[in-house]
């Protein structure tokens, strides 16, 4: 028994094979697009994680500096000192991660500039404290004066309102 195909059957078979080939090509293209998308999402998560880590490290530096200024004890300065090289490394990795995107690179450069300025301010505080340990006393005294003034203004306002409120409840 010999198989023979009519022209219609041959055309249908050719169309079926062509459709399967087109479907395979489109599927392959879609798989590549999904893989590329997954890579970009992964890259975005990596950039966001690096930003978050750099922010956390800067907070560690601020906390360490503040602890040292408040106590004058050298161990409190260790988080500040440990944060400095770690932050430089994190910003360098962030710059490398965003080098392919000029707007992102511009943001990272701005972030590096602002971070350097903030670290300089922190260092000035440490330097000034080491040179003049009592300089914070005037700052603390000023803060207490401001706080006390606000507190007194609040109390005065409450005492001004109190008699009229009491009279309204008594006679009102």
Across the range 37-57, mean pLDDT stands at 88
Q: Output the pLDDT for position 39.
A: 82
Q: Output the pLDDT for position 156.
A: 66
Task: Summarize pLDDT for 61-80 with one digit per residue, the tens.
Answer: 999 999 998 888 999 999 99
Compute how many other C-beta atoms are within 10 angstroms of the C-beta atom of residue 119. 19
Residue 120 has pLDDT above 70, yes or no: yes
- For 3, 6, 23, 139, the CA distances from 18, given in Å and listed in that order, are 22, 18, 9, 81
Cα–Cα distance for residue pair 68/49, rounded to 1 Å: 28
Q: Output the pLDDT for position 9.
A: 87
Q: Output the pLDDT for position 54.
A: 94
Residue 146 has pLDDT above 90, yes or no: no
> Structural domain boundaries of the chain?
8-132, 134-172
Which pTM does this prediction carry? 0.65
pLDDT band for position 167 (50/70/90)? low
Across the range 125-154, mean pLDDT stands at 76
pLDDT band for position 86 (50/70/90)? very high
Residue 1 has pLDDT above 90, yes or no: no
Compute how many other C-beta atoms are within 10 angstroms of the C-beta atom of residue 29. 10
């Amino acid at each position: 028994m010999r198989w023979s195909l009519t022209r219609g059957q041959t055309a249908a078979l050719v169309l079926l094979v062509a459709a399967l080939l087109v479907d395979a090509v489109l599927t392959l293209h879609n798989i590549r697009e999904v893989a590329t998308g997954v890579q970009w999402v992964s890259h975005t998560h990596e950039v966001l994680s690096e930003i978050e880590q750099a922010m956390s490290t800067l907070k560690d530096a601020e906390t360490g500096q503040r602890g040292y200024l408040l106590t004058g004890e050298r161990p409190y300065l260790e988080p500040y000192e440990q944060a400095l090289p770690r932050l430089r490394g994190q910003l360098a990795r962030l710059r490398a991660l965003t080098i392919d995107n000029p707007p992102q690179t511009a943001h990272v450069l701005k972030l590096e500039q602002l971070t350097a300025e903030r670290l300089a301010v922190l260092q000035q505080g440490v330097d000034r404290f080491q040179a003049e340990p009592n300089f914070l006393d005037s700052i603390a005294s000023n803060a207490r004066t401001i706080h006390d003034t606000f507190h007194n203004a609040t109390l005065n306002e409450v005492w001004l309102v109190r008699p009229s409120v009491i009279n309204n409840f008594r006679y009102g």
